[in-house]
Structure 1
């Protein structure tokens, strides 16, 4: 959402550091922001209260160019915004469209100075928003007007009865970006149309009828065309500048969203890959433990088998020994039988006596 804030971080940071410095220091710094916006900050140690801020932006209006300066309605908007602590220097610094002379000495409270610095950081949105707001109010009844905020991604605005239509040809470099953008545009179309106060959004793979007659180069896209229907309530008073700034940065926001989506998908894929690798590693470790356990079990089985086999052999050996013993007991020697017969003791005859029972 950084593209929709409308403020530049660099001018605010430089002005804040300059004000918070203990000693006055000279500043002469040139820097770029958002690719095509150029700033120049200049201040001297002898006159630290006055700071000169120059800006050069791509002009949306055909009436203005960097050499001739900004149109009058843009200058009026800047005077209205910064009249409390700044004034417009004419002519502007060479090579820049607008130069402001900032003097914060009249703002005694730190809160007021911080608010003024935030307003200065909105200079780009004030300049470009005022131009687009003027163009939206001065469009003809037919035809489309080409606007170039980014040289790579121009867009078109056209006026129809009761509304203004902004059309964005979308171009992407990668097939993955096209797939993500197509899904995003479809969801934006479904979700945006569910709110009554929001501009109606539509997406089409072919050019809309408002772009008939435009060159083929401008109509050649791989991401289709996104259109917004802007009604009068969207450009009233303070809403006009915000609506203009959102339209100017819509294409940049789409690319930012796609980049974040791809990073999110890739991070989820990496996490999923790491979790699967961890599962496989744990399975390998468990498999090694199972192999060790199976080997231990096999060894124990072998030991039990060897012990059982030894016991069986021992039992068999004992049975053989017992059988041999029995065979040895059954062996008879004939000479011993004769010797036994010689020493046979004769049996004595016993006589039975019959006794009478007394008292019978």
Structure 2
């Protein structure tokens, strides 16, 4: 989660990738020889088990600093042809500042080479930041390719009936895509390892599907429906791909207006990270409830400590005044 994106929002840019590359850019601008001489090998694992690696590249042509940005995900999430075609337009730059490697680094799906020296030579700070933001969106460009392809088809043709498609997100989680006339329907079987999380998710998702109906400002948002049993769109889906949907099924209906060039990337990212969005809110809710319960217990303990102690024998405590007289305090 990125705080700059707002509470509960997931930023499409990877702070890890952006900061790792930016550190090399700043070291190059400052001519920090010691930092540049130190090999870079930073790795990170994000939600949905997506892995990043930012590694330094041996200087092949003398005087240039380069790093490789690699990304990997669980098997089945990467569709090489579509992914690399999208990356060529969304990530790579024609001047070679960011370029896709022909072969990904070992253990990863795709690798992009970043010319740090070229970025550092730019005097325009906004342009440098623009390039850093571009390479940090590598996840959305690579793993959103399948959904992006269906939405582009919807925008171009208005939508046609097609076969059910799917994209594995992580172990036990799959996103199904059903092209239809005038729309594309995306279905999530919601699986939770913790049965208690599944109970909370059921209530959350029921309200999530209902809230759009009562708010006019959400009238242009995708239609959402929640089902306890598999919707009809999944009748041809392999049973092993659906798995144990103990949290029910959520369907999003996307129309042509959601696939316009200015909204396409936001639509792809928000849909693709929906399961992580729900998981975040469940954990956030549990933390809030635990905090409230702790506050309530502390309040009760404070009241008990202030309570007047009563002698169970019924006899008051014998007190003596300064002049020697005694009395019983009850």
Give the TM-score taking structure 2 as reference length.
0.78
Which residue does the alignment assign to 1:273?
A: 297
CA contact (8 A) 1:51 1:101 kept: yes
Q: How does 1:13-162 map to 2 (within 5 A)?
A: 13-21=19-27, 22=30, 23-24=32-33, 25-26=36-37, 27-34=39-46, 35-44=49-58, 47=62, 49-58=64-73, 64-65=79-80, 71=83, 73-78=85-90, 82-83=93-94, 86-95=97-106, 96=108, 97-102=110-115, 103-138=118-153, 141-162=161-182
**What's the counterpart of residue 235 of structure 1?**
259
Partner of 2:10: 4
| Partner Cα distance (1:131, 1:59) in 2 | 15
Partner of 2:230: 207
1:90 CA displacement: 4.4
Deviation string 1:110-149 (CA, Å, 9 cap, x unpaired) is: 3332332222211222222344211444586143211112
The 1-side partners of 2:297 and 2:318 are apart by 34
Q: 1:18 to 1:71 in 2, by over 3 A?
A: closer
Residues 191-210 of structure 1: CA distance to partner in whole angstroms, max 9, x if unpaired? 12332111111111011000
> Which whole-Å CA distance do the structure 1 matches of 2:87 and 2:317 have between them?
88
Aligned match of 2:322: none
Distance in 1 (CA, whole Å) between partners of 2:288 and 2:12 is 26
Instruction: From 203, 206, 227, give the equivalent of 1:183.
Output: 203
In the alignment, which residue of structure 2 is the partner of 1:333? Answer: none
Worse overlay, 50-59 or 112-121 = 50-59
Write the distance in 2 (CA, Å) between the matches of 1:140 and 1:56. 33
1:64 CA drift (Å) = 3.6
Query: Aligned partners of 1:131 and 1:84: how far apart in 2?
Result: 27
3-state SS, counterpart of residue 197 of structure 1: coil
- Separation (CA, whole Å) in 1 of partners of 2:76 and 2:262: 21
Q: Is the 8 A contact 2:78 2:142 kept in 1?
A: no
C-alpha distance in 2, partners of 1:186/1:177?
A: 14
Contact kept? 1:167, 1:226, Cα under 8 Å? yes
Higher helix content, 1 or 2: 1
Distance in 2 separating the partners of 1:301 and 1:32? 71
In 2, the alpha carbon distance for the partners of 1:121 and 1:242 equals 15
Q: Does 1:166 pair with 2:186? A: yes
SS, match of residue 300 in structure 1: strand
Closer, same or farther: CA 293–77 of 1 in aligned 2, 3 Å? farther
Mapped contact 1:31–1:40 kept (Cα < 8 A): yes
The corresponding residue for 1:321 is none
Note if contact 1:130-1:241 (Cα within 8 Å) is conserved in structure 2: no
Q: Which runs of 5+ in 1 are unaligned?
A: 303-360
The aligned length equals: 296
The answer (yes or no) to whether the contact 1:8–1:33 under 8 Å persists in 2 is no
CA deviation map 1:215-274 (0-9, x unaligned) = 333153111001111111011103111111111111011111101110000010011011
CA shift, 1:60, in A, is 9.3
Larger mean Cα displacement after TM superposition, 48-57 or 162-171: 48-57
Give the Cα separation in 1 of the matches to 2:89 and 2:74. Answer: 15
Gapped runs of 5+ residues in structure 2? 3-8, 154-158, 320-325
1:31-76 CA-to-partner distances (Å, cap 9, x unmatched) read 13322223232145785643232323349989944xxx76552243
Q: TM-score, length-normalised on structure 1?
A: 0.72
